[in-house]
């Protein structure tokens, strides 16, 4: 196993930077933080529910 990837609670940590995503880095941070704090909602990630949640966050962030 790559020494930079250490299993955490059965998961493998994958290094990435927000720069590889087209979305605002703050929106990405909000999403990651939200799903870390609410693991029971992670199954919604492949649904329209998550898309609408991200759109609401994006609108709220654009007002800042």
4: pLDDT confidence band, cut at 50, 70 and 90?
Answer: low
User: Distance of CA 6 to CAs 13, 25, 27, 53, 63, Å?
Assistant: 6, 24, 26, 30, 38
Surface-to-core class of residue 37, CB atoms within 10 Å of its CB (0-12 exposed, 13-18 middle, 19+ buried):
exposed
Sign of CA dihedral 53, 46, 39, 28: negative
Residues 35 and 45: beta-carbon distance below 8 Å: yes
pLDDT digits (tens, 9 = 90+) for 11-55: 666 666 656 566 578 888 889 899 999 999 999 998 999 999 999
């Amino acid at each position: 196993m790559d020494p930079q990837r250490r299993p955490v609670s059965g998961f493998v940590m994958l290094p990435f930077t927000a720069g590889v995503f087209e979305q605002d880095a703050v929106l990405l941070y909000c999403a990651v933080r939200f799903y870390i704090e609410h693991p029971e909602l992670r199954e919604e990630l492949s649904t329209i529910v998550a898309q609408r949640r991200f759109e609401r966050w994006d609108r709220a962030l654009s007002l800042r």
